[in-house]
Structure 1
Amino acid sequence: MQAEIIDVVNRIGLMADRRDWQACRDVFSDHVETDYTSLNGGQPTSVNADDLINGWKAFFTQTFTTIQHLIGSHVVTITGDRAICLSNFQAHHVYLDTQKGTWTLGGFYEHTLVHTAEGWRVNRMKMTWTWEQGTRP
């Protein structure tokens, strides 16, 4: 069961890197709470998963030639049909505008998942930024 949860979490970054937006969308429940407050301030938001993926698609396609998310050191806690997966991450971004160079971000994720008839799905994703190098968008 832990391997299934880790696979779901890993698919988010890998499928976004490959720009396989449908495969990326498939790991989320229909509504997702996202929390990027450590990087951007503000408040966590609840979004429709299709809107989340369409936003990522537009942002990544219009801003970067390539991206690579490395997610690892997973620690999974399962309680019935719910799970939490804590992971380290490093995300490297290469700008379309070569004058901007690159942006690399690191920290950790907390993904909350629910078990459905289709398998494990992410319904909450919190990114905690701890360091960065390069030009922030």
Structure 2
Amino acid sequence: MAGVANIFIHLRRHDDSTKQRIVLYSGAPQTQACVADGCRGVGRVPVEYADEFICEGGVNVGTLLRATRLTLLEYCYQMGANALVDESWECRIVGPKTTHHGTYKVDIVYTASATKSTTADPRKPVSMDKATNIPGLMTIIRRGSE
């Protein structure tokens, strides 16, 4: 009986390994030029926010990055900061077995330092050129790990 169970476990692991996996990185930490000029000599507090999305139909990484960054920035407002510097992000996408059917699990980790700036925060993530989308009309089914 244990042999049959091991076969099912092995088949399950094989099924999981056939899913599409994509990992995207922003690269080294970066600061928006307009924010860098307005926060010289001001203290910085490292912050990190991890977000999870379940999407269907496709993945627009830029939209999900903006949503995650905005949530992190709102948290920083509560600490008295109004801008983010030294920003970087990592995005992991696990797709369905077939490209055109099923859901995508997207994990985003956004890391930055919160600070006060005399110039307005641009409210856009860094390194958007490295954000690769999965074509299709994205529908966010769930946000967060509920």
Specify if TM > 0.5: no
TM-score normalised over the length of structure 2: 0.28
Task: Give the structure with higher Rg (CA).
Answer: 2
Higher strand proportion (structure 1 or 2): 1
TM-score normalised over the length of structure 1: 0.29
Larger relative contact order, structure 1 or 2 (CA cutoff 8 Å, min sep 6): 2
